[in-house]
Amino acid sequence: MRRLTIIILTLLALAAVAGVTRADDAPAAAGEPGNGITVQGSGSIISVPDRALLSFGVETQAASAKAALAANATEMRKVIAAVKAAGGTEVQTQSVSLYPRYAESSGAGAVAVQGYVAQNSVTAVIRALARAGAVIDAAVGAGANQVSGPSLSRGDQEELYVKALGAAVADARTRAKALAAAANVTLGRITQIVEGGSAPPPGVLSASKASDAAGTPIEPGEQQLVASVTVTFATS
């Protein structure tokens, strides 16, 4: 009988300990003081692009692969020199290709090779956006028969993103204050911030004045850089 009593008492003690553990581990009910408030905030910076990324290419054709590639190299050197002279920087080869050009198939027999096509393209950064049109004209004048772009951006994009992050945190605080007031709690310090990343510029928001320089017109427009954060505030 004594042994049975000891076992029962031991089981009751273990049950009590388990009950305390469950009570401690249970999360506080939503809205209770000290539970914290987590909000999302966003900030945006609008700027005018000040640089452009452009691509220039040359395509040549000849009866032999060697002749097509040699002619292409001659023309491409002229284009690269013209782009650099007009203000293009960070000139970098984008692609080089050489492939046969076949005659149209008549449905009978092997398709004959009529010649070869060589292509070469480079990218260039124009740091003074007002010069972008002149660089395009110079490249085409030197022999470029392929042009693509521009991809517009800002040289100080990292600095602008940091400003957008600050605006996002301020926006999060404003939202948290409104929630704290509605919940009748006092907003405390920030306990956690998670960066949500930036959204790429969506392109032109509104037209800005184009360059007055003669040549191919390039409209800079305006771009919006967006940063987002998730912030948790302590409450009491």
Please give the residue that has the higher pLDDT: either 57 or 155: 57
Give me the pLDDT at residue 132, please: 92
Same domain, 140 and 119: yes
pLDDT tens-place string over residues 185-222: 999 999 999 998 655 554 444 444 444 455 788 888 88
pLDDT exceeds cutoff 60 at 128: yes
103-107, 144-148, 158-162: lowest mean pLDDT where?
A: 103-107
Q: In what order do the strands lie in the sheet with 37-47?
A: 37-47, 223-235, 187-199
Q: In what order do the strands lie in the sheet with 88-102?
A: 88-102, 113-126, 51-62, 146-153
3 lies in a domain?
A: no
Number of domains composing the chain: 2
Same domain, 139 and 180: no
Same domain, 72 and 89: yes
Give me the pLDDT at residue 220, please: 86
Rounded to 10 degrees, what is the CA torsion of 84, 87, 92, 96? Answer: -60
Q: How confident is the model at residue 16 (pLDDT cuts 50, 70, 90)?
A: very low
16 lies in a domain?
A: no
> What is the share, in percent, of the chain residues with pLDDT greater than 70?
75
Q: Token pair for residue 218? A: 């390039």
Q: Are 183 and 31 in contact (CB under 8 A)?
A: yes
194 lies in a domain?
A: yes
Query: Residue 119: which CATH number?
Result: 3.30.70.2970
pLDDT tens-place string over residues 22-64: 333 433 333 444 478 999 999 999 989 988 999 999 999 999 9
pLDDT exceeds cutoff 50 at 5: no
| Identity at 194, one-letter amino acid code | V
**Residue 77 to residue 127: CA distance in whole angstroms:** 22
Closest CA to 195 of 228, 234, 233: 228
Q: Token pair for residue 168? A: 């996002």
Domain range enclosing 192: 29-48+157-235
Q: What is the pTM of this model?
A: 0.65
Give me the pLDDT at residue 82, please: 96
Residues with Cβ within 8 Å of residue 63, at least 6 apart in sequence: 115, 116
Give me the pLDDT at residue 210, please: 46
pLDDT exceeds cutoff 90 at 77: yes
pLDDT tens-place string over residues 130-139: 899 999 999 9
